[in-house]
Structure 1
Amino acid sequence: MAAESNVKMPRIKLGSQGLEVSVQGLGCMGMTPHFGQPKPGPDMIKLIHYALNSGITFLDTSDIYGPKTNEILLGKMGELKKLVEEGKVKYIGLSEASPSTIRRAHAAHPISAVQLEWSLWTRDAEAEIIPTCRELGIGIVAYSPLGRGFFSSGPKVVETFSEVDFRKRLPRFQPENLELNKSLFERVKDIANRKGCTPSQLALAWVHHQGNDVCPIPGTTKFENLNENMGALSVKLTEEDMAELESIASADAVKGERYGPDIPTWKDSDTPPLSTWKAAA
């Protein structure tokens, strides 16, 4: 495997707080058991180094991935220590935050980025959250921009799920909804064929074309998928292309909620009033 790809990732200022990142990041959740069986650590470290050598500077992780093991994996490459030494770890971000929570947090300390699910089949953030972020100058980090793999291979993606893959529990991947969502994938695939790209590249390009304050973080554990994702940067969409995609991916075109009732989202994230907080001991 080559030490680096032939794609050099451009960089953007994400929001108004000076946070500079690559225009596309790498979601690392799938590298550890959150998506099923853990991937070989040495292989994942090679993939991370490959991404860094390709110009990707945004690696998305969390303490709940694994849990804990995802951050340990990233810590083995020593990049976090390097970032601290360079004085670059100094920004605050939120994930799945409601508009009111975003405003309240931003008033206490400038928020650099808000992470939310945004893709052709998850667009509920467009009504209030995206406008709130843009009003306040907050960057947008779009996770699951490929619909958790749906726009890579359509309904067939469920055939790759292991028994412990949490996607097996998600409403949109249940048989009754998946069959109805199939038509969305087929229409995206038709447009991709006309554009000379893959469906996943088209879906990712749609997110990129939302604005220069957006950084999608498609996750992968494979070199070929990483290269394909980076190739989405070369897909140029016209206003007509965007309008066509948005018309077929309207809110009522997707069947099933994105999570079950046991998983909270930004709709459940309003911060309790200060009057209800107990003073620290």
Structure 2
Amino acid sequence: MSPRRAAPIEVIERLRAAGCVFAEDEARLLTAAAGTPAELEQLLGLRESGLPLEQVLGWVEFCGLRITVRPGVFVPRRRTGLLVKRAARLIRPGSVVVDMCCGTGAVGAALLAGEPELTLYAVDIDPAATACARENLAPRGGTALTGDLFAPLPRALLGRIDAIVANAPYVPTDAIARMPPEARLHEARVALDGGPDGLEVQRRLVAAAPEWLAPGGQLLVETSSSQAPQTLAIFARHGLTARVVHSRKLDATVVIGATALIGARSA
């Protein structure tokens, strides 16, 4: 079916009753995805049960790409496009890039779409996430690895990575209960929980990053606007010259830090 085909009004009404804010758009997508009325009923039932639309469809649009999404895997948000945009400015053909805490691998896939000549690794502690990331990255030449932060990376990459991009979990533990049910009930807690202040994973990531980065290498970490000053301080504590970038349009915040160039005087 064409994705522009109008959805039946009863589908829209059922989605509205289920609390879907963008019922018309969702109805159109579900109708387009269903090959038969029975398939539409199945998809609609999953959505009414609270399953995220992206997991019902099996994909999400991200930075102009259709990214595969599997059950339980963190769904990439539109705001993470800022992380992609800023990283894309820093890479070139032949750059070695790591998509850390990769989830679906959406960030890495978007970077490879813009620069196919990257050497790209994606890492996540959740095997379900890396299985999904392989689906999105393997056709583009990326590699997905399962493990805790830098642990699964080849040791040969020490001091050779040009850019690390990370949408590490940054939701404070107590705040997870206030998240929309689509996230807190259907996405892996390990992809959301950043510890008591939301910064535990960031601390570990930033502490380990300098030895993996090449001279002048860049670390880019998504965070919240309220947490940005603390994230900036973590970067400084580990010798990275850092700045905060914010997009009002995307409601997104990224902290970008660089290691010193060989022979350069410290800032």
TM range (shorter): 0.3 to 0.5
Larger radius of gyration, structure 1 or 2?
Answer: 2
Q: Greater share of strand residues, 1 or 2?
A: 2
TM-score, scaled relative to structure 1:
0.31
TM-score, scaled relative to structure 2:
0.33
Select the structure with the greater relative contact order (CA < 8 A; seq sep ≥ 6). Answer: 1
